[in-house]
């Protein structure tokens, strides 16, 4: 992979939703420990950093927050300065979609991110449940019994967040896909498996397909 990863993941002008995720060869989105980090690696993490660098919003579902335990959403002083010069906020804003509001509120991501996390829930969420949301966050209530991705996309755009990266999990990505709210899919296919590593030996594109072959790394 090129060292200039930023150039491989440009943000087009105007509103744009990029679905970003890593998937193992067996179709799983996490390793044996239930976290995506165990099927990721340095190259994949460089992609994550590059995509987030110029994003305005990082959208995740509640199950992903509970499993991954995101760190506070921050940017270095140098990157923050570049973002401000480009007319963006100093860091991406964490956007968490949760109907139940069952989230690990004690985690530092909710109080120590550079921008207040935006917690998106549904109108049927009881008032007592909404009161769990800490003052360090902003609560956004969607109309109806579910958070419609098209509605959420427009809400974020109206708040000045045009570069939107949706990191999942799977159910949230599926909701965005069904709503036609995704402009780009950025998929990392990982050869890291519980039974050993597999290395790609072929990647060929034709029509709307990518054909690949992976073999055990020791046979490469």
Span 18-49, pLDDT tens digits: 999 999 999 999 998 889 999 999 999 999 99
Residue 4, pLDDT score: 79
Q: What is the pLDDT of residues 93-123, one digit of tens each?
A: 999 999 999 999 999 999 999 999 999 999 9
Instruction: With cut-offs at 50, 70 and 90, classify the pLDDT of residue 134.
Output: very high
Residue 2, pLDDT score: 43
Residue 220, pLDDT score: 53
Tell whether 60 is covered by a domain. yes
Q: How many domains does the chain have?
A: 1
Tell whether 157 is covered by a domain. yes
Q: What is the DSSP string of 142-178?
A: ESSSS--HHHHHHHHHHTT--EEEE---HHHHHHHHH
Q: Which residue has the higher pLDDT, 191 or 1?
A: 191
Contact by Cβ (8 Å): 176, 166 = yes
Q: Which domain holds residue 78?
A: 5-195
Instruction: With cut-offs at 50, 70 and 90, classify the pLDDT of residue 217.
Output: confident
Instruction: Kindly tell me the burial class for residue 38, based on how many C-beta atoms sit within 10 Å of its own C-beta (0-12, 13-18, 19 or more).
Output: middle
Q: What is the pLDDT of residues 156-166, one digit of tens each?
A: 999 999 999 99
Q: Which helix (H) or strand (E) holds 39?
A: none
Backbone angles phi and psi of 17, in degrees to 5: -110, 120
Tell whether 190 is covered by a domain. yes
pTM: predicted TM-score of the whole model, two decimal places:
0.94
**CATH code (residue 99):** 3.40.430.10
Tell whether 111 is covered by a domain. yes
Q: What is the pLDDT of residues 139-177, one digit of tens each?
A: 999 998 899 999 999 999 999 999 999 998 999 999 999
Tell whether 31 is covered by a domain. yes
Residues contacting residue 65 through CB under 8 Å, at least 6 positions apart: 96, 98, 103, 104, 109
Residue 1, pLDDT score: 45
**Coil, strand, or helix at residue 89?**
coil
- Average pLDDT of span 174-196: 95
Instruction: With cut-offs at 50, 70 and 90, classify the pLDDT of residue 6.
Output: confident
Residues contacting residue 98 through CB under 8 Å, at least 6 positions apart: 61, 62, 65, 119, 120, 121
Q: What is the pLDDT of residues 40-90, one digit of tens each?
A: 999 999 999 999 999 999 999 999 999 999 999 999 999 999 999 999 999
* 111 DSSP 8-state letter: H
Q: Which helix (H) or strand (E) holds 17?
A: strand 16-24
Tell whether 211 is covered by a domain. no
Tell whether 182 is covered by a domain. yes
């Amino acid at each position: 992979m090129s060292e200039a990863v930023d150039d491989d993941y440009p943000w087009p002008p105007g509103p744009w939703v990029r679905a970003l995720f890593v998937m193992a060869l067996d179709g799983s989105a996490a390793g044996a420990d239930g976290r995506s980090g165990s099927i990721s690696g340095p190259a994949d993490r460089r992609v994550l950093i590059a995509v987030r660098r110029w994003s305005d919003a990082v959208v995740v579902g509640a199950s992903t927050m509970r499993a991954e335990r995101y760190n506070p959403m921050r940017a270095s002083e140098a990157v923050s300065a570049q973002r401000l010069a480009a007319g963006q906020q100093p860091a991406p804003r964490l956007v968490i979609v949760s109907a139940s509001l069952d989230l690990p509120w004690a985690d530092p991501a909710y109080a120590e991110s550079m921008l207040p996390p935006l917690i998106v829930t549904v109108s049927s969420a009881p008032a007592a449940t909404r009161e769990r949301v800490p003052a360090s966050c902003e609560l956004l209530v969607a109309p109806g019994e579910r958070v419609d991705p098209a509605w959420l996309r427009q809400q974020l755009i109206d708040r000045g967040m045009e570069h939107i990266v949706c990191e999942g999990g799977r159910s949230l990505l599926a909701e965005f896909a069904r709503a036609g709210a995704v402009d780009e899919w950025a998929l990392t296919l990982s050869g890291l498996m519980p039974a050993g590593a597999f290395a790609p030996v072929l990647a060929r594109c034709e029509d709307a397909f990518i054909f690949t072959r992976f073999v055990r790394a020791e046979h490469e």
